[in-house]
Chains A and B, each alone.
Chain A
């Protein structure tokens, strides 16, 4: 597998983003992490940085956000997903332990997995060391 070079965090809770970043830092030496508390700016970034699509990127996406929910972000990414999919992996990172949310996540073929908050270093290791990245 290729080690992801870039991490995008979209979550309107800064604390959650901070925790996520901490976990990533424990596994990867100085990873490239971009955190967005506004989902719209996160989307904008993904679309604008289209020239760097070839960088292996992992997106951690929260569900419960405003004005766009995580589902809305996934819908908006759907159209460009075919271009992204080679170098892009999306993980839902949500505080929700509701099975309906987990089930809904499987409806999006762009979603690699559903993760419950908080994300620990162990979780990051499980995801990226030893177990191949799903494409």
Chain B
């Protein structure tokens, strides 16, 4: 019931935030912030209490109630370490989101926080739902408020970006819906009972050819979310046009739902089909890494640059996941967390700069260091995290991914490693263009260093990046070789 309670509570506080804003101005954000903190604390304690009795290295079913009896659809939630990590990442970034939009959102504030929290509710549902229909349901629930965030509070070209974002995800998720339905029909044919329950499906024996098509249906939906080349083109637009919190949420968590889907559904439901498809997926991953890095280098827009860098980083995840290797898998999960933190940090930074100079354009920036040394320091650290400086989480993550992948795809890995050089280049381009060089004279008066709130946001993210960078076992211990039973790797294990 824990997760159900958490979701209900978030949604209720979303409604309260909306109404509170109508009664007293500026109260919505306090409601949102306090409730998110309270919920996070509650969840930590609830999990700590239950951990002694329950082993989260396997999926633990929390709730299982009939929902739509006509199709035998259930309301089923489950948790394992993967979902726990991602849920906490979501909650953390939710707090960050509320903090970065503290002064940024000035119109329709109540409705804004409602949408933000509603989207968080959906995302938590996605990470925990284990009935496929329910999963699809949450998959859409997180989408609607996100689209509203982009379309109402976004920048100049927001409608176009919102429609593009919505259509890409919606059409691909319809493919997934068809695959889900086919699976349930297969289940009916084999057992005489319709079922959308994930663990029922694991026991199904799907003919290889059918499995291949079904796998593709799921894969496309998740590849769009991840995003992978060639279905990535919604991402730069959505990121650029979204308000700061929208970008943080998109990059930090929404992209991770794609990776989560690949791990939980594509790889585990269709192991044979996906290992057969793996070479293509690995190529897609490498292309994403190189293409993302190249495109990031060519951008003139701060947020667009970070957006393309996300494509590059998510390429590592794709490559690592499809190498079916424990080390690479650990690397992929660490990448999810590390990229969640570092991209959130960079987008928050973009928001802070935008607030000061009202531009995202790199040529308009420069020389901020003199006026805002603290901000500059953080910016340097976050850029370093993005290009994988040792000591920060991203380094460990990408290193592990590459080490694991090398045992399976040596050539792919060598090419992918070039992406690291690319990331160093665009990282420096980003930093130098904004914080070094000459200061555009017109902006002098208005440029202030970080406020306390902003300082808190940055230092929170940076300290997490450093902690995980120095002590990755914090997360890796949860994903031991013995825990990942579905991963039948023949090559790996050697490194452990």
Q: Say whether A and B bind each other.
A: no
List residues of chain B with CB under 8 Å of any chain A CB.
none
List residues of chain A with CB under 8 Å of any chain B CB.
none
